[in-house]
Chain A
Amino acid sequence: MPIEPAAQLLPAVVDLPFRDGYVSSIIYVSLYVSLAAVALSTAFSVPVAILLGLADFPGKQFVKSVINTGMGFPSVVVGLVVLFAVSNQGPLGSLELVFTKEAMIMSQFVLATPPITAISLAAIAGVDEPVRDAAHALGGTRFDVALVVLKEARYGIATAILAGFGRAISEVGSVLIVGGNITSASGISKTRTLTTAIQLEARQGQYETAMVLGAVLVALVLTVNAVVVRFGDRGVKP
């Protein structure tokens, strides 16, 4: 008896009110944009965090404050600024990036960079000074010392990258503004992400679709968070 209701539920989940490839294309766009943005942001943020963590220069505290402010910066404003930058009259107008994945990557980059930099910096600053001194005293160059610090801070930096990914993948405002939430005529996502699709489907009353997309997004974010927690635990020294 208890098997029957479950069997009836299954087709309801499988028989979804959207065309083939719609959901998978949305997942693809979401992952592509977020992963590309986070990869670029990591390539930028980690060296900056190393520099801020190991070098002393005038204005260092100011740079740190700017990064910390950036963590709480409203994403719609970032979207608006990127939209102005890539619009016809903007400085990047000639690249024709309005409503493209590239523009979305740009705004996600701006959003992911402050948390990745700030959390990496905290991890780097947490590396004991005696360990740095040891690397130097054993004959290490400044570059060798920086490598040691990177290795010591590796779990913290991994946490930072995953946190940046979490911010990027669950972001709505800026990707809606610069991406435009577009699909092709055949219903395949061009710049529609999980988040922007959910808000559109919900507004149109397509609650089942919105909920499936929501479940996928939550599953992705949960997976990322599980990894973050795991890395975070390993980063704590006994």
Chain B
Amino acid sequence: MIRATDVSHAYGEDPVFRDLSIDVDTGEVLAVIGPSGVGKTTLLRLLALSFEPDDGTVTVDGTDAWAVDPDERLSLRRRIGMVFQEASLFDAPVERNVEYGLRIRRSWTDRLRHELRSVVSSNGTADAVRDSLDIVGLTDKMDQHAASLSGGEAQRVSFARAVAYDPDVLLLDEPTSDLDPRNTAVIEEAIAAARDRGIGVVVATHDMHQAERIADRVAVLLDDRITEIGPTAEIFDDPDDDRTRKFISGELVY
């Protein structure tokens, strides 16, 4: 589905990645593990087509995203959903937040008509909005303002916002690092539900237990490269790479 091949990227003089390759397919959960500050967020932003790498290719279903024109790249970008470490919701009710991805995909005339109609009456709730809030168990918070939610609820809404437009791939950047166990469990169940819908999920996490719980495959990001990528059990039980083994066993401390 999304595949980065031999990607190199640097911020000024500092290389972030060197010849890095990674791929995610639909209907699987890939966990990217690695210590804090190793570049997991940058890797997710790369897969989200937020920036062009210095070298290498990023393809979506075989189409080189940086070789096509901006319009086509936008339509590739729109098949991807993303959830950040911070919920970063808009200053609006929950429903408007979750609806955002659907709204911007409409034509301008539709959007205008929709906005005008909302002034005089309700447009009703889109099924996709209700369904995605249902996944994170927050349909009852639909009319609340985003600012009134707890941190955990906000992150769950952020998740619903990213799945509402039914992306092919969902990128999650440390989605539960600030959450309590209950909200973490809800997000992890929602990740499983997204996979069951056929969405390919990439979760960046520094929590190795979480990776073991939810991922079908694991990629280990150490320094500026993927040291190992493969089925979860294989990576945790019998890693080939010496540094990976040390990282997983906790000997390699950053």
- Interface residues in chain A, defined as those with a beta carbon under 8 Å from any beta carbon in chain B: 128, 130-131, 133-141, 144, 148, 151-152, 237-238
Alpha-carbon distance between A131 and B100 when the two chains are bound, in angstroms: 12
Among B23-31, B77-85, B175-183, B240-248, which stretch is in contact with chain A? B77-85
Which residue of A has the minimal Cβ distance to B81? A138
Which residue of A has the minimal Cβ distance to B75? A139
Residues of A near B80 (CB, < 8 A) are: 137, 139
Residues of A near B82 (CB, < 8 A) are: 134, 137-138
Establish whether residues A131 and B77, one from each chain, have CB atoms under 8 Å apart when the complex forms: no
Among B86-94, B124-132, B204-212, B221-229, which stretch is in contact with chain A? B86-94
Nearest chain A CB to B126 CB, angstrom units: 15
Given contacts A130-B88, A131-B88, is CB(A137)–CB(B104) below 8 Å? no
Which parts of B154-204 form the interface with A (CB within 8 Å)?
158, 161-162, 165, 171
Please count the residue pairs between chain A and chain B whose beta carbons lie under 8 angstroms apart in the complex.
56
Given contacts A237-B147, A238-B147, is CB(A139)–CB(B165) below 8 Å? yes
Which residue of B has the minimal Cβ distance to A140? B104
- B114 part of interface (Cβ distance < 8 Å): no
Nearest chain B CB to A159 CB, angstrom units: 15
Residues of A near B84 (CB, < 8 A) are: 130, 133-134, 137
Residues of A near B116 (CB, < 8 A) are: none
- B1 part of interface (Cβ distance < 8 Å): no
Residues of B near A130 (CB, < 8 A) are: 84, 86, 88
Nearest chain B CB to A137 CB, angstrom units: 4
Which residue of B has the minimal Cβ distance to A154? B91
Establish whether residues B91 and A139, one from each chain, have CB atoms under 8 Å apart when the complex forms: no
Known: A128-B88, A135-B100, A144-B104. 12 other contacts (CB 8 A): A133-B88, A134-B89, A137-B80, A137-B82, A137-B84, A139-B78, A139-B101, A139-B105, A139-B165, A140-B104, A237-B91, A238-B147
Hey, what's the 0/1 contact readout for B228-244 against A, CB within 8 Å counting as 1?
00000000000000000
- B74 part of interface (Cβ distance < 8 Å): yes
Establish whether residues A137 and B91, one from each chain, have CB atoms under 8 Å apart when the complex forms: no
Contact residue among A134, A140, A151 (Cβ-Cβ distance under 8 Å from B88):
A134
- B215 part of interface (Cβ distance < 8 Å): no
Which residue of A has the minimal Cβ distance to B44? A137
Most-contacted residue by chain A among B50, B80, B90 (CB, 10 A): B90
